Amino acid sequence: MNAPAESLLKYDRPILVPKSADKKSAKGQPAKVLKSKPQQHADSLPGPRKSITATFDDIRQKNEDILNFMFPPRRWEEANREWVQRVCNEPSTRVDVVNLEEELDKKLLQMRAMETGICPLRRQLYTECFDELIRQVVLICASRGLLLLRIRDEIQMTIAAYQTFYESSMVFGMRKALHDEQDKVALKNRISDLENLKEELKEQLDHQRKKCVEVEKMAAEKQQAQEKKHTEEIQTLRKNNQQLKIQLEGFFTTKK
């Protein structure tokens, strides 16, 4: 495991952990932060009161325990040697804050983070910057630092919830898109079938029209033939009638 990347959160210099050392002693002990020993009234304690220096040492030790609880030491192995790196417990000055801002802007440019929109790189850098601010505040006032830690965790939970909603919406959108694509393919197939059916019906209609024209032509020819036949029969009957009329007139003439 390689050494961790540089972070805006300020760390102390890495320390080599001896192989014979007890690894448990190098770990942070957050239990000191969560559990507090019952304090007795200063008047009831035997002997002289604690000095101011001892009180400051206790506060510093408490702040260190809080920092170890918030930001556990980083551990890695390199060349079969174990290294540990703790969060810096030295108070920061105004210059450190200015340098932090400059370092943040510098890393935003180096990593080419997006200025707007969703950008994991920008979010990571601002998270590291916020952690460094929490570290600086804890060394001044532990209660404020814990409150900022609570705010940070709430923000991260909110972002995680939004990310879950986003992923769910993406999955729903993909399913909807696939479903729509399937419906689109089905509609295209339906349109193709209907167009083929249309062509078939159109061919049947053309065939029926041609057949109707042929039937009408045959009926017209048959009607013309029948009319011609009737005309010929009428002419024949008229001739026969004329001949019979002539014969009758001749018959009556000879008889007189």
What is the structure's pLDDT at 131?
A: 92
What is the structure's pLDDT at 77?
A: 86
* Buried-exposed string 40-52: b where 16+ CB fall within 10 A, e elsewhere: eeeeeeeeeeeee
What is the structure's pLDDT at 56?
A: 61
Q: Judge whether 179 lies within some domain.
A: yes
What is the structure's pLDDT at 194?
A: 95
Crossing angle for the helix pair 142-255 and 52-70, nearest 10 degrees? 20
* CA pseudo-torsion sign 224, 230, 235, 236: positive
Output the tens digit of pLDDT for each of the chain's 256 residues.
Answer: 667 778 888 888 888 888 754 444 444 444 343 333 333 333 433 444 445 555 666 767 777 788 888 888 888 888 788 889 888 888 888 898 999 999 999 999 999 989 888 888 999 999 999 999 999 998 888 889 899 999 999 999 999 999 899 889 999 999 999 999 999 999 999 999 999 999 999 999 999 999 999 999 999 999 999 999 999 999 999 888 888 888 888 777 776 6
What is the structure's pLDDT at 34?
A: 36
Number of structural domains, the chain? 1
The residues near 76 (Cβ < 8 Å, ≥ 6 apart) are: 1, 2, 3, 4, 82, 83
* Domain boundaries, position 201: 167-237
Crossing angle for the helix pair 120-140 and 142-255, nearest 10 degrees? 160
Q: Judge whether 88 lies within some domain.
A: no
Q: How far apart are CA 203 and CA 192, in angstroms?
A: 17
pTM of the model: 0.56
Q: How far apart are CA 137 and CA 250, in angstroms?
A: 154
CA atoms within 13 A on the CB side of 120: 2
Q: Judge whether 27 lies within some domain.
A: no
Dihedral pair phi/psi, residue 77, rounded to 5°: -115, 140
Q: How far apart are CA 226 and CA 1, in angstroms?
A: 111
What is the structure's pLDDT at 46?
A: 43
Taking the alpha carbons at both ends of the chain, their separation in whole angstroms is: 155
Sheet-wide strand order for 15-17: 15-17, 81-85, 74-78
Q: Judge whether 228 lies within some domain.
A: yes
How many other CB atoms are found less than 10 A from the CB of residue 125?
Answer: 21
Q: Judge whether 176 lies within some domain.
A: yes
Q: Judge whether 61 lies within some domain.
A: no
What is the structure's pLDDT at 128?
A: 92
Q: Judge whether 224 lies within some domain.
A: yes
Which among 63, 28, 233 has a CA at the least distance from the CA of 142?
63
* CA pseudo-torsion sign 172, 175, 176, 177: positive
What is the structure's pLDDT at 35?
A: 37
Give Rg (Cα) of the chain. Answer: 53
Q: Judge whether 185 lies within some domain.
A: yes
Q: How far apart are CA 102 and CA 125, in angstroms?
A: 12
